[in-house]
Structure 1
Amino acid sequence: MNHLSYQTLKESGYDGYLLEQAPERVLQFGEGNFLRAFVDYFIDMMNEHAGFNSKVVLVQPIATPAGGFDLAKVINDQEGLYTLYLRGFENGEKVNSKRVISCVSRCLNSYSDYDALMACADNPDLRFITCNTTEAGITYDPSCQFSETPPASYPAKLTQFLYRRFQKFGSEAGKGFIILSCELIDNNGKELEKCVLKYAEQWGLEQAFVDWIQNENIFCSTLVDRIVTGYPRAEADSLNEANGYIDQTLDTGEIFGFWVIEGPQKLKEELPFAEAGLPVLITDDHKPYKQRKVRILNGAHTSMVLGAYLAGQDIVRNCMEDEVICGFMNKAIYDEIIPTLTLPKDELTDFAHSVTERFKNPFIDHALLSISLNSTSKWKARVMPSFLGYVEKNKELPACLTASFAFYIAFYHGSRLTDEGLVGQREGNEYTIKDDRKILEFYYDHRNASNAELAHDVLSNTDFWGQDLTEVPGFEEAVVKYLNDIDANGTYEVMKKLL
């Protein structure tokens, strides 16, 4: 079979949408699966349905290891084309959609193609910069120097690029960028802008450049929401056979997608998401939507999976097929989490309904043990705000969220500490608990403690929670009661009693 290319598609009689030629109007730092299944999908849809007419230049922000897989080369060999599968449940129906994405023009490596990358700043058509350089990508590293080609950190690379743009077009209004940051950190766009301004100061760049950064560029914080499962290794051969071409950059993700962009309403004039019918919201405050995602979707995961694992389940989808476990999760969401949130109730319940559909996705085997990683910090960030908000509002404990805390403690009961983690047991079989080493050592040291002693020491550990949870009226006694019930009857029976 031939490799994917425009010629291959023409020869095969492909009749789907393709955009072979268009101006390069988007620069994207990050060439990985997520951005290609999310941002680039949206751009491709805008090209087809709203006349956006834009190509994306991908940038590989790190050097390719010697002898390693050179994704940039593969992308370029395929002329930027790749096949994207979005799969799952939508409105109760099983969906498996396929689309050849044609919005990418080329991929540059910021190390081997440094000059070509910087030359993109001279392109008068370029208007948008998108990025997802992982949570560690938006960091200020003072060792980075202006003379390096390139410096190590992404914000330093971006500062160099912006300065080149300023030198070329600084006297022209409207030649700055709309920058859409997709990293999974709070206020990602604002944090990126802070780093850029620090480098401008460190490198002694002129005040006119600093003014240009702040006046001609818009750094947007965004919330991204789509599970992307990436290259389907187990299915790749059969998919290529069915397509009639070899695609080395196949990508897969769930059908659900939602993007919240914090920025001025005038962005709608330049980014026609609405005209293309896309689930993208431009708002002056993205935080309520992030809170909704973290508390409902992530909170549902964290409050349910540890108890479900101890009850004998292994993947999320099977949990949704169990009336007791799914019922426990839904009771936590609808009765205890949603009442603590600020968005309109119908928006919250619609999102909650989508969460259940997403968890039922037949194409994703989402392992409970993988979700259990770092559950201490996850419970604090995802569940504790809802728990405390419910207590403050109702002057009583939320039963399911309280039980979820007991499930967390029970899951962290281990008898052996190894380099891999703390080893626990489920029905005679071992599993590995993975978290910060000090947390695992704490639980190992408490392996022989009574439920009452353990609950007290966990709840009062301010290093874990940032506060003493024994001060929440009735919480300690309730957790001990649940732990005793788990020992006697198991987590499944505890869930069943709560329904």
Structure 2
Amino acid sequence: MKTELDGANTFFEMEVCVMKGKKKPAPMHPERVLQFGDGVFLRGFVDWMLHHMNEQGLFRGQAVVVQPFAEGSADEINEQNGMYTLLHRGICDGRTVDEAELIGSIRRAINPYSDYKAFLHCALNPDLRFIVSDTSPEGIVFTEDDHFTDFPPSSFPAKLTVFLYKRFKTYHGKASKTFVILPCEQIDRNGDVLKQTVLRYARKWHLEQEFVWWIGHNEFVNTVADRLVTGYPQDEIKELTHRIGYVDHLINTAEPFHQWIIETANPRLPAELPLAQAGLNAVWTNQLTPYHTRKVRILDGMQTILTLTAFLCGKQTMKQGMDDSLLAAFVHKVLSEEIIPSLDPELAASEATKAYADLVPERLANPLLQRQLHRLVNHAVAQFRRSVLPSLLEFRKRHQYPPALLCFSLAALILLYKGTALDNERLAARRATEVFIVEEETDHVATFRDFWSAYEGTPASACQLVSRVLKHEPFWGMSLANTDGLAAQISTSLVLMINKGIPEALWLALQGKPAIAEA
């Protein structure tokens, strides 16, 4: 629990602390950004960027944050007048970065579940121009149970539809009062998906055709938001509080690396949102797909693979996983020999891809981001499906045989969902696995429990278990049962893990010797 510490100022005294230091608090600006999402990512990414543009006099606008769920951080944000500390921590250009920065780009926060009228009232603001979002991995979804008259609707796209309708009615459908909408949800072509979901709500609710036409004049932008943001540094909070001199209940942590890829054909948008002019790593492009593929397959894929194997090896943090020579060798080999070769040849051969891939091990091994593996393994099926499965299937299609190390990682996922420690002491700790199960979605846990209940400890029953997992379409969005060689390769790795333990099984896989006979 976050508590105030002896000898530290409260956040209300922060302005005095800051004015005694190097800089004054940020000035107030008009609310130009509506932000759906009160979590750590947007505060460590978009809000930080807004702050830097404001610091240089380039944007002169603040965000009003909309809490997306009934429980959230709106009250804490308002208690701190929208201000919070962002820690930049990691390795940048060979030097260690550990800096604290006071961010003042949030004007206020609204909880629409307790003050829906205040949320809708924002639609009347003529200064409001941009809408950003990061609500959840499944945030851009259509929910049949959402109704126009709900107070409020549950899903983010439904709330956005009502908000846009309020704007449309207030300004009588003027094209000059439309928005630039930049979702940061980690899904492919997030802007297109959001637009189609909003249009679906408009039609479901039988809203005017003129409104449907007006929706099309808003610019729904596809983006890729790339930064590792780890949030509140609970384990270090006492030391950090004394270091910065005040209690901050919203203190946030992010790596130095950041990149925002924005797809647009609007030549005026880079001037309206002068990210690059402020020195930020923003890329404006008319073709987002290569950037999205690179980020998801390389960074997200490597993070998923390392998380699964390191957690089962008993590591506590991502850093501990990268410090292990065997796991580090696994990361480098699967990246260079299976993930990169699964990319489009032109993308795989580009210098930009090579430079990006070279940074990934360093980013994952960041010594100052204490990324707890028991948190990262949650929703492992969804993460694997999104970031690893495309590489696995593309490699199999292109090379006519299954990739051994990517199959090893899928075997690790299956073992992870067993839910109890096996006899071999080198496998996952029972307590850590039970914590994972409590936090994971119950339908996947129940399904895996059913699959594992039929396991009899033989290679044949392992193969049957793997076949059932591959056939289960709710996991993968398709059946993988007919992918030649896949079940046998995964079963081989799974038997090795069970009989020899993760480290020895991984060593054998790296040597190219994953024969079932050796198990």
Structures share fold, TM-score greater than 0.5: yes
Q: How does 1:457-472 map to 2 (within 5 A)?
A: 457-459=465-467, 461-463=470-472, 465=476, 466-469=478-481, 471-472=483-484
1:427 alignment partner in structure 2: 425
The change in CA–CA distance for 1:478 and 1:196 in structure 2 (over 3 A counts) is: closer
Unaligned runs of 5+ in 2: 1-7, 512-519
Map of 2:237 onto structure 1? 236
Deviation at 1:230, TM superposition (A): 1.7
| Rounded Cα–Cα distance in structure 1 between residues aligned with 2:141 and 2:480 | 31
Q: Does 1:201 align with 2:203?
A: yes
Q: Secondary structure at the match of 1:204?
A: coil
Q: Is the 8 A contact 1:265 1:283 kept in 2?
A: no
Q: Would you say how many aligned residue pairs link Structure 1 and Structure 2? A: 485
2:28 is aligned to 21
Pair 299,150 (structure 1): closer, same or farther in 2 beyond 3 Å: closer
Of residues 282, 287, 299, the one that matches 1:297 is 299
Q: Which residue of 1 aligns with 2:506?
A: 495
CA contact (8 A) 1:422 1:440 kept: no
* Worse-matched range after superposition: 333-342 or 362-371: 362-371
TM-score, reference length from structure 2: 0.83
Q: Encode CA deviations 1:380-406: one digit per residue, 9 max, x unaligned.
A: 443332223223323344332243344
User: Residues 250 and 476 of structure 1: is their aligned pair in 2 closer, same or farther, counting only changes over 3 Å?
Assistant: closer
1:340 matched to 2:349? The reply is no
Gaps of 5+ in 1: 65-69, 415-420
- C-alpha distance in 2, partners of 1:133/1:181? 9
Q: Give the AA of the match of 2:214.
A: W
Inter-CA distance 401–203: structure 2 relative to 1 (3 Å threshold): closer
Cα displacement (A) at 1:496: 3.5
Distance in 2, matches of 1:379 and 1:168, equals 44
1:332 Cα shift? 0.5
Alignment of 1:37-436 (within 5 A): 37-49=44-56, 51-63=58-70, 71-170=73-172, 172-215=174-217, 217-266=218-267, 267-342=269-344, 343=347, 344-411=349-416, 414=418, 421-427=419-425, 430=430, 431-432=433-434, 434=437, 436=444
Deviations along 1:172-213, whole A, 9 cap, x unmatched? Answer: 442210011122344332232223223333443322222111
Q: Which amino acid aligns with 1:259?
A: W
Separation (CA, whole Å) in 1 of partners of 2:144 and 2:373: 39
Alpha-carbon deviations, 1:317-355, whole Å to 9, x = none?
122122222011111101211122132532222222222
Classify 1:92/1:455 alpha carbon distance in 2 versus 1 (closer, same or farther; 3 Å). Answer: farther
Cα distance, 1:26 vs. partner? 0.8
Q: Distance in 1 between matches of 2:211 and 2:120?
A: 17
Change (3 A) 1:6 1:308: closer
Does the CA-based 8 Å contact 1:459-1:470 persist in structure 2?
Answer: no
Displacement of 1:214 in angstroms is 0.7
**Paired residue secondary structure (1:111):** coil
Name the aligned partner's letter for residue 462 of structure 1: K
RMSD: 3.0
* Alpha-carbon distance in 1 for matches of 2:139, 2:463: 37
Which region of structure 1 is more displaced relative to structure 2, 456-465 or 20-29? 456-465
